[in-house]
Structures are given as structure tokens and as C-alpha cells.
Structure 1
Amino acid sequence: MIVALHGAEFFAYHGFYPEEQHTGNCFIVDIEVEFEPDGSNGLSSDNLKDTVNYEELYHICGRRMQQPQKLIETVATFIMEDIKAQYSFAEKITVSIKKLNPLAGAKVKYTQITINYTR
């Protein structure tokens, strides 16, 4: 099973250059968490504790996006580590972050990094 959060938008102050850290930018985060439901009751329990809560994924992103970093690779790694800590049963996690309009004076729609974890 995969629970995903796609297109979560945040305004944050990540960036290597001081002007990026001062003016901020728009970021888009995508997350996919793959896991096998518990064999004893699967998801027939209809209980949120037996799955990945996409609302919590959003809150994890929000907390990390508000902590400025120079590299979005670092932000993605922290998000992934928080997801692993919250959902120890996760078998695969993919976190992608897009930075919109990343280069002043250049015509670039976005840059993107993607990190993967497999247990």
C-alpha cells in the first residue's frame, strides 16, 4: 500500500545564498510512503493508527520547512528521518522537493531533488 501527499506548498527561507535566505521562495513537497498493512487485521480495523496519516505527513513537512537550511537535500533528509521515526513500519519512502523560480535572472520553472529510502 502507498499513502502519498502530492503538491504540498510552502513558503520558506531555504537557500545557499544570503539573498535566498532573506527573501524566501515557494517550495512544493511530494511524499510517498509504502508499507504492508498489519496481517492480523489489515485495514479492516478502519483505524488511523494502522496506516500512514497524510495529515501528519503534512505537519512533518511544515515543521521542517520552517527550519531554514542551505540545501533542500538537507530538508528532504530531515523530513524522511521524521517519517521513519513516526512510521517504523514504512518499507519505502520517497521525498521530493521542488524549488520554484530558483535562479534570479534566469528562466527556470523549478529545480527538484528526490531522495529514497528502502528498509
Structure 2
Amino acid sequence: MYGTVRLINAVFYGHHGVMEEEHRLGGRYEVDVAADMDLSAAVASDNLKDTVNYEAIYTIVKEQVTQHEYALIERLAGLIAQEVAEAHPALDAVEVTVRKCGPPVGGLAGRSEVSLRHEA
């Protein structure tokens, strides 16, 4: 059985952006991660070792968003995807969506977002 394990809307405060003020002041970021894999063993065993642990994914996301500073959310999403894929070799693909809340666009905008898919 093939499936997807998802972590939806993990929320953090980070310091990413092109503008100096974004690095100084920071802002809210929301992250989704979808991890594709064969889940047959997990269905049969009911054992965490046979799937991807979404708490481990959360830890990777939290570290990337809160402990580093990047100019682009594309870079942030790409590094999260790479690190999740490296930490979980059984994954076939990882898709990461990063949303920047209240992006500085010279007007009102709720969010900007980027989604990247890393094929294993």
C-alpha cells in the first residue's frame, strides 16, 4: 500500500527574507511536509519503525525555520525537503510547502508560499 504521511501547518517564528527588516524583525512561517512511501509494512505491523515519524520531521522543520536565516523561502523549503529525504531513506518523495505570513509586498497580502517536491 502506497501512501503519504503529512505534517500540516507547523508554525514557527523565523528570520527569512530579502529585506534587512525581515531578518531583524522576523515573522510567522507555516510549513507543510508530505512524505510519500510504501506503507504496507506499517499497516501490517502497527509499528512506528515501519513508517516515517512525523515528530522527527517536525524537529527538522523547526531547526531549519528557527535556527537559520535565508533570503528565499525557496531555499528554506528545499533544504527542509533534502534533510527529510536524507533522514528517511525509505521515502520515495518529499513535498514541502513554506508559507510566509504577511509578506512585505507593498500592500495587503495574507501569505506568500512556495511548494517544492524532492524525488528520492
Instruction: Name the TM-score, length of structure 2 as normaliser.
Output: 0.91
Deviations 1:14-43 (A, max 9, x none): 1111010000010100110010136xxx12
Residue identity matched to 2:8: H
Alignment partner, residue 71 of structure 2: 70
Q: Secondary structure at the match of 1:30?
A: strand
Q: Give the C-alpha shift of residue 10 in structure 1.
A: 0.5
Runs of 4+ off more than 2 Å: none
Quote the RMSD (CA, aligned, Å).
1.3
- Long gaps (5+) in structure 1: none
Identity value in percent:
28
Higher share in helix: 2
Q: What stretches of structure 2 of length at least 5 have no aligned partner?
A: none
Residue deviations 1:27-86 (CA, integer Å, cap 9, x gap): 100110010136xxx122222111011111111100101211111111111101111111
For 1:24, the equivalent position in structure 2 comes to: 26
Cα separation, 2, equivalents of 1:80 and 1:111: 18
| 2:93 equivalent to 1:92 | yes
TM-score (norm 1): 0.92
Q: State how many pairs are aligned.
A: 116
- Give the whole-Å Cα distance in 1 for the aligned partners of 2:102 and 2:9: 16
For residues 8-47 of structure 1, what are the structure 2 equivalents within 5 Å? 8-37=10-39, 42-43=41-42, 44-47=44-47
